[in-house]
Each structure stands twice: as structure tokens, then as C-alpha cells.
Structure 1
Amino acid sequence: MRIAFGADHAGFNLKERLVEHVRSRGHEAIDVGTHGPASVDYPTFGRRAARKVLDGEADRAVLVCGTGIGIGMSAGKLPGIRCAVVSEPYSASLARRHNDANALAIGSRVLGPGLAEMIVDEFLDAEFEGGRHARRVGMIEPPADAC
């Protein structure tokens, strides 16, 4: 699986660890930055990673900022991105299984690195169940003329 990673300065260190973690599991990591601890704007990196998913260059995205909230909101504004902001493994699994989430956002100031790895593992290992969930997922993205 190809995973796009994006983070701001607050998420930089955790992103680096998660990139190595997914590589150790045999996945390809596409790191769109940031590449250091200097202050940057989280929307830039959240959208950059999400765009990799939309363009078919990545299967999923993992995003990290201080809380996961800002970077997740930024990525989720792109039509076709279903980004789940989670703080524990069960929700990461259900975000995939029931909501077909294609992006995961987590907070480096909220989670320890071991828990973050568990969350990413659940997100990557789970598959969309379809069935009754497919209709609901279809309702998430409104038609262009609905707004």
C-alpha cells in the first residue's frame, strides 16, 4: 500500500516515526513534508498529502499536527477526501470499515508514539465493508448542485 504522509511542525517528529513504522510493515511511504521543525502552515501539508490520494499516487493519507484537528479539517475540504480525526485504534478501524475514510489525522500533542502506531496499523489493516455503509458514505459528498 502507498501511504502519503503530511505534517506541520508540531507533527514533524511523530510523522518521521510513523513513516519508518509503515515502511517496516512493507508499505511505501510518500512524505510530502514538512521536513523539519520550523513553523509551517498545516493546511499546506494536509492538502498536499490528500491530493496524492485524489490523484491516485497514494492509497491513503496519514496527517499529523498538534491535535489532528486543523490538518484533518484542511484535508477534508477536498472533494473526495473522507478524513477521520481519531485518538484511539477502534475509531481508526471503524472509520475505514464503516465510513471508507481515505485519510487519517492524529495529534502529536494528544498521543504517544506507541498509540499512534497502533492507530495507524488499524487504519491501514481495515477494509471498507460496503453493504449498508456504502449508501451512507455516498451521502457524505453532496451533489455539486446541492450547495
Structure 2
Amino acid sequence: MKIALGSDHGGVRLKNCVKEYLQQENIEFKDFGTFSEDSIDYPDIAREAAEAVADRLFDRGILICGTGIGVGIAANKVPGIRAALCHDTFSARASREHNNANILTMGERVIGRGLALEIVKAWLAAEFTGGRHNCRIEKISEIEKKYSLNRGDDSRSLKNE
């Protein structure tokens, strides 16, 4: 398994803890930054890591900011990404098993290191169960296609029809 890892300045310390865990477990990863607590814009890191997951250069991604919300919103703008904000192990497992989440987001200012590592463990161990969940993921993909910015028509504008 290959992981795309990233954070903004508000999540860099927790990202470094996750990084240590991945190294201990011999899980391959790439750190997309940031590497200090100097202020940066989280959409830049989230986009780069999410694109790498969407392009299948990485199997999954883990993104961290102060709350986990901003990186998740940004990552979910990339077609093919299903980023899930998880601050408990049940949600982490369910996001993989039911929603086939390919990016986990967390907030350094919301949870501590110990819980964060338990969430990462649960999320990495869980697999998509498919079955009745397949049609739901397909419906999400259809919504994504409808509003994709990559389409050549005028689908980007919301119309009251």
C-alpha cells in the first residue's frame, strides 16, 4: 500500500506522528508537505495529494489540518476522491467499508496523537465491502460526472430547469 500524506501548518505536528507510524509499519508513503509551522494555504497541499490518489499513483491518502475540514473540502473537489473526516475509529472503518473513502482527513486541534494513530490503524486495515454499497458509490460518481469541470459543455453552471 502506498499513502499520499500531507498537512498544512495547523496539522504538521500530527502529520509527523502519522509519518513515524507509517515508517515503523514499513508502509510506503510520500510526504507532500508542509514541513514547518509557517502558514500555508491548505488547498495547495490537499489538491496535490488528492490528484496523486486520483491518478492512482497512491492507493490512499491522509490529510491533516487544524480541523480536518478544509483539507477534506479541497480534496473532495478532485474527481475520483472520496475524502472522509474521521475523529473516531468507528467512522474511520465505516468510511472505508461503506463509502470506499480513499482519503482520510483529521484535525490536529480536534484529536490527540493516540486517538489519531488508532484512527489511522483502523482506516488502513479496513477494506471496501462492496455489495449493497456499490450502487451508492456509483451514484456519487454520477453526481461527480454531472458537475465535473472537465466536461466540454456548460455543465459547470447551476441551472434552474
Per the normalisation by structure 2, the TM-score is 0.88
Residue-by-residue CA offset, 1:96-125 (whole Å, 9 max, x unaligned): 000000001000000100100010111110
* Aligned residue in 1 for 2:103: 103
1:20 paired with 2:20, answer: yes
Instruction: In structure 2, give the amino acid aligned to 1:43.
Output: P
Instruction: In structure 2, give the amino acid aligned to 1:144.
Output: K
Q: Per the alignment, do residues 73 and 143 of structure 1 end up closer, same or farther by CA in structure 2, a change over 3 Å counting? A: closer
Q: Per the alignment, do residues 70 and 131 of structure 1 end up closer, same or farther by CA in structure 2, a change over 3 Å counting? A: same
> By how many angstroms is 1:144 displaced?
3.0
For residues 53 and 128 of structure 1, the distance between their equivalents in structure 2, rounded to whole angstroms, comes to 16
> By how many angstroms is 1:139 displaced?
0.8
* Aligned residue in 1 for 2:66: 66
For residues 31 and 124 of structure 2, the distance between their equivalents in structure 1, rounded to whole angstroms, comes to 16
1:144 paired with 2:145, answer: yes
For residues 77 and 64 of structure 2, the distance between their equivalents in structure 1, rounded to whole angstroms, comes to 16
For residues 90 and 143 of structure 1, the distance between their equivalents in structure 2, rounded to whole angstroms, comes to 26
Q: Per the alignment, do residues 144 and 9 of structure 1 end up closer, same or farther by CA in structure 2, a change over 3 Å counting? A: same
* Aligned residue in 1 for 2:151: none
Per the normalisation by structure 1, the TM-score is 0.96
* Aligned residue in 1 for 2:89: 89
1:6 paired with 2:27, answer: no
RMSD of aligned alpha carbons: 1.1
For residues 12 and 89 of structure 2, the distance between their equivalents in structure 1, rounded to whole angstroms, comes to 21
Instruction: In structure 1, give the amino acid aligned to 2:101.
Output: A
Instruction: In structure 1, give the amino acid aligned to 2:116.
Output: A
For residues 18 and 98 of structure 1, the distance between their equivalents in structure 2, rounded to whole angstroms, comes to 24
For residues 42 and 146 of structure 2, the distance between their equivalents in structure 1, rounded to whole angstroms, comes to 30
Instruction: In structure 2, give the amino acid aligned to 1:79.
Output: P
Q: Does the 8 Å contact 2:79/2:144 carry over to 1?
A: no
* Aligned residue in 1 for 2:56: 56
> By how many angstroms is 1:145 displaced?
4.1
Q: Which runs of 5+ in 2 are unaligned?
A: 148-154, 156-161
Number of residue pairs the alignment of both structures matches: 147
**What's the % identity of the aligned pairs?**
46
* Aligned residue in 1 for 2:158: none
For residues 42 and 81 of structure 2, the distance between their equivalents in structure 1, rounded to whole angstroms, comes to 16
For residues 113 and 78 of structure 1, the distance between their equivalents in structure 2, rounded to whole angstroms, comes to 28
For residues 143 and 126 of structure 1, the distance between their equivalents in structure 2, rounded to whole angstroms, comes to 24
Instruction: In structure 2, give the amino acid aligned to 1:105.
Output: T
* Aligned residue in 1 for 2:39: 39
